[in-house]
Amino acid sequence: MSDTSAPLPYEGVRVVEFTHMVMGPTCGMLLADLGAEVIKVEPIEGDNTRRLLGSGAGFFPTFNRNKKSIALDLKKPEGVEAALRLVATADIVSENFKPGTMKKLGLDYESLKQLNPRLIYVSHKGFLPGPYDHRTALDEVVQMMGGLAYMTGRIGDPLRAGTSVNDIMGGMFGAIGAMAALRQREQTGRGCEVQSALFENNIFLVAQHMMQFAATGRAADPMPSRISAWAVYDVFTVKDGEQIFLAAVSDKQWTIFCKAFGLEEMLADPRLKTNNDRVLARDWMMPMLRSHLAGYSAAELSAVFEKNELPFAPITKPQELFDDPHLNATGGLAPIRMNDGSMSKVPLMPFTLGGERPGIRIQPPLLGEHTNALLKEVGYSDQQIAEMKKQNITTGD
């Protein structure tokens, strides 16, 4: 932040998280980025995302920065006892295990609030309590049943969004709920349970399409098949097969666009006078525009659109973003330790505080990296810790 001595907003808040995969870890990461001390309780073998391949290979370094790690075997009473000692020191507990798992361990909200009435307990699930809450949910499951896959794919070809939108946003809403509960605790002196869920998050995302139907009586078409509200709002294939998204979403922008590309005849055509006229004329207008622009390179089009303050976007692959000049110039990427110990860069939170992005204070922890220090803090002696390691109740440094 501009004042480097200014504390982060959640410094002094302790979070103990029992989380894995994406949803729960996202909640903890957001709170950690904002200054909270987040303690990740991992099984002896470590969070499974440390070992995932394919699309999950980047989960752990992406969602576990600024956290501490303690390894505990919660299947053993001694491991649960150590977890309970940590919880007694916490402001927030966060979890995203299957319904009933935490209750079996004695780590559910009803049990823990007896230990710590000021505790805020954030539970991340597939569904909020109701007829579906017994189901096992994944991001893709709720995208399919919640209308998002239908809206993303072509008619007859539902398609999940290209990232873990519900997991990530569900974790974010869990963190927002925790922030609200902290404020409420200031007023009442009591903690509470916060619940966030994948399905309800997905419904929040598609609310605009639900309300479109409520307002018009017409069902929303999937995005690839929709009738756009704007006449020029498309991906164009141009010179050398490159692709670029171009838009002109107002009558003023249409005028600028036509003048920039020598389309005075189209500008003067009374059939294309207003945006709504152009929407109705897309069947014959768009082929003309595509033909006219096909000989330009994507870079040439970008330069003209940027000069004239028109919306445009090159079609970019995720791996190309590591070299994005804007992200690198504005501090949007920070050094991160990967699972194999190598270093890469990771996107930071998409907001600033005092002109700066909340950064990385602690690299994603090694398994049990903070075990010894945390156990000592809650009353365990060196001898007790050594014995716990001998019995495989804990591991780490």
Residue 281: CATH number of its domain: 3.30.1540.10
Give the model's pLDDT for residue 132.
97
Tokens encoding 279: 């929407």
Sign of CA dihedral 370, 376, 380, 385: positive
Q: Identify which of 200, 27, 191, 18 has the alpha carbon closest to the alpha carbon of residue 101.
A: 18
184 part of a folded domain:
yes
193 part of a folded domain:
yes
Q: How many CB atoms lie within 10 A of CB 323?
A: 10
48 part of a folded domain:
yes
| Predicted TM-score of the model (pTM) | 0.93
318, 352, 376 - which closes a domain = 318
Q: How many structural domains compose the chain?
A: 2
Give the model's pLDDT for residue 86.
98
293, 318, 343 - which closes a domain = 318
Q: Which domain holds residue 296?
A: 228-318
Residue 76: CATH number of its domain: 3.40.50.10540
> Does 81 lie in the same domain as 57?
yes
Tokens encoding 299: 């870079």
Exposure b/e, 231-270, CB count within 10 A at least 16 = b: bbeeebebeeeeebebbbbebebbebbbeebebeebeeee
Give the model's pLDDT for residue 5.
64
In angstroms, the CA 192 to CA 282 distance is 54
In angstroms, the CA 49 to CA 367 distance is 12
Give the model's pLDDT for residue 1.
40
Tokens encoding 57: 């290979």
> Does 313 lie in the same domain as 342?
no
In angstroms, the CA 205 to CA 207 distance is 6
DSSP line for 336-350 = EE-TTS-EEEEE--S
Contact (Cβ atoms closer than 8 angstroms) between residue 120 and residue 181: yes
Q: From first to last of its 397 residues, what are the pLDDT tens digits of the chain? A: 444 568 999 999 999 999 999 999 999 999 999 999 999 999 999 999 999 999 999 999 999 999 999 999 999 999 999 999 999 999 999 999 999 999 999 999 999 999 999 999 999 999 999 999 999 999 999 999 999 999 999 999 999 999 999 999 999 999 999 999 999 999 999 999 999 999 999 999 999 999 999 999 999 999 888 777 889 999 999 999 999 999 999 999 999 999 999 999 999 999 999 999 999 999 999 999 999 999 999 999 999 999 999 999 999 999 999 999 999 999 999 999 999 999 999 999 999 999 999 999 999 999 999 999 999 999 999 999 999 999 999 999 9
Give the model's pLDDT for residue 311.
97
1 exposed, middle or buried (CB, 10 Å; 0-12, 13-18, 19+)? middle
Tokens encoding 64: 């576990």
318, 350, 375 - which closes a domain = 318
3-state secondary structure of 363: coil
E strand residue ranges, 287-396 = 312-314, 333-337, 343-347, 394-395
Give the model's pLDDT for residue 3.
47
